[in-house]
A = this chain, B = another copy of it.
């Protein structure tokens, strides 16, 4: 019984099989023309030595590719994944990347994980969201010459972006309310910047760092120029309820609230319930995303369904094409209006006046 060697390598195996390393390499790559007999010899030797394929680390140095794509989400994994939109996106990306044989390196923009971000081996990256850090991270990626695709923001510095058509979708939602007769509408935006204060005016919008929130708000104001806007700090039910109360617990509440996400909208529904405002009779509420909220609230939300997984898939495809040397164009996906049951004609509300 031979003593177990340090660590079997291709060279070890080749020597044991009595062939050249290049031959053994071909066998494991399944590429070149190798005679069946030689192949078998190599395979046998490998089994004998307990060698199960070439070392990924050595391959990546040699090939200049590690087969890993970084997917960067905002803040901690737990808060990012509380939102089904992010989960869907990562899933879509993982699916396409997995089929292409690429791994998903889960990265966050958390400061304490910067070391990982800087040092991690990755051939390309998908950068999601538009946190204040995003710009800095993108800069770092560019310096390292890591091809990057953005998700949920505008294209920047040569990096293509995959996103939904926020202006069109948001306008459609606002116009839907307008056509229903609503004239006093308010909106709850996603985080616009790092500021915790809810009040949003034109100046703050102009300075906003979050493209998605800004675009959706702009579209809302296009339709309701005087509509009140308050910014949430997170896309959660709790935030929606908190901001919803601020919006609704006033002498003359709006007859419609446009929430920039479904989770926020559910929160607004709760605020309305707490204040005794019947939805949709006295208040219309719209969301954004099209996630399954049946577990959160029985009322089907009037919302725009966005193709979350498709965003991830398209981002992954784009990243893969960039690795092939192409310069893919940005992608703008369409959303689909979901009628739901939380928006109704404003007349009802007016009657209560």
Contacts and interface: CB of A to CB of B under 8 A. Distances in A.
Interface of A: 7, 50, 52-53, 55-61, 64, 66-68, 71, 76-78, 81-82, 87-88, 90-91, 94-95, 97-99, 101-108, 110, 112-113, 115-116, 118-122, 140, 143-145, 237, 266, 295-296, 309
Given A98-B112, A105-B106, A296-B296, A309 B78 contact: yes
Contact of A77 (B57, B90, B121, B145): B90
Given A98-B113, A237-B295, 19 more contacts: A57-B57, A67-B116, A67-B119, A67-B121, A68-B68, A77-B90, A78-B87, A81-B81, A81-B91, A90-B106, A94-B106, A94-B113, A98-B110, A99-B112, A101-B119, A103-B120, A104-B105, A105-B105, A295-B295
Contacts of A52: 140, 143-144
B98 A88 contact: no
Contact of A115 (B81, B101, B145, B237): B101
Of all A-B residue pairs in the complex, the 7 with the closest CB atoms, nearest first, are: A78-B91, A98-B113, A56-B121, A103-B120, A77-B91, A61-B61, A57-B60
A56 B119 contact: yes
Contacts of A87: 77-78, 81-82
A65 to B, nearest CB: 8
A122 B81 CA distance: 23
Contacts of A106: 71, 90, 94, 103-106
Contact of A116 (B50, B102, B143, B309): B102
20 contacts: A52-B143, A52-B144, A53-B118, A57-B57, A60-B121, A66-B121, A67-B116, A67-B120, A68-B68, A76-B91, A77-B87, A78-B91, A90-B106, A98-B110, A98-B113, A103-B107, A104-B106, A105-B105, A266-B295, A295-B296
